[in-house]
């Protein structure tokens, strides 16, 4: 066999072409395998991502429902507090009205009782003053008469003393009557 090679380590063009073709096919097979692997891996990754996105959507929906239920419960709680506050205000208003009317009745009753007591006291005081004035006048008149008889002036001073005693008793009665009118 004769060799067409001129140099021991050299290759011919057709051998080079065949080697390149084989290498090219080998590379193509590797690229095809890599492409298939990437497509398969991508499909798996897309499935994983889709599953992850679906799970996130489920979690978001569940969280939204939870927050909605919390908001509804909180709104109901606040509404219940408002109703309780309104009823407490109404109850306090009723109690205040009842207390005010009871107090007004007590004040009215006390005022009437005090007015009656003042009137009774004024009448009693007027009677006592009048009786005291008469008693004093009755005691003073004989003494004055005796004194004036001794002094020789019995005609002028006795009537003056009676008049002064009457003026004093009248002034006291006038003061008591004005106190009664002011109390009413």
> For the chain, how big is the Rg over CA atoms in Å?
64
Dihedral sign (CA 117, 123, 127, 132): positive
Joined together, the tokens standing for residue 126 give 């007027």
Q: State the Cα torsion 162-168-171-172 to the nearest 10°.
A: -120
CA distance 168 to 62: 101
Specify the 3-state DSSP secondary structure of 61.
helix
Who contacts 134 (Cβ-Cβ below 8 Å, separation ≥6)?
169
Who contacts 179 (Cβ-Cβ below 8 Å, separation ≥6)?
118, 122
Is the whole model's pTM more than 0.75, yes or no? no
What string of pLDDT tens digits covers the 184 residues of the chain? 445 545 656 778 888 888 888 988 988 888 888 888 888 877 777 888 888 889 999 999 999 999 999 999 999 999 999 999 999 998 898 999 999 999 989 988 888 888 888 888 888 888 888 888 888 888 888 887 777 777 655 455 666 777 888 888 888 888 888 888 887 7
Specify the 3-state DSSP secondary structure of 121.
helix
């Amino acid at each position: 066999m004769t060799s067409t090679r001129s140099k021991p380590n050299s290759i011919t063009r057709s051998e080079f072409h065949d080697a390149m073709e084989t290498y090219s096919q080998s590379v193509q097979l590797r690229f095809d395998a890599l492409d298939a692997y990437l497509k398969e891996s991508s499909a798996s990754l897309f499935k994983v991502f889709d599953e992850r996105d679906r799970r996130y959507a489920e979690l978001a929906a569940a969280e939204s429902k939870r927050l909605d239920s919390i908001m509804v419960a909180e709104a109901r709680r606040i509404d219940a507090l408002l109703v309780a506050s309104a009823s407490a205000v109404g109850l306090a208003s009723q109690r205040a009205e009842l207390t005010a009317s009871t107090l007004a009745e007590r004040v009215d009753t006390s005022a009437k009782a005090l007015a009656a007591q003042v009137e009774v006291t004024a009448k009693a005081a007027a009677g006592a003053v009048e009786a005291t004035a008469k008693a004093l006048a009755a005691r003073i008149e004989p003494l004055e008469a005796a004194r004036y008889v001794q002094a020789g002036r019995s005609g002028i001073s006795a009537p003056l003393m009676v008049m002064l005693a009457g003026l004093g008793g009248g002034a006291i009665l006038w003061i008591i009557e004005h106190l009664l009118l002011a109390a009413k």
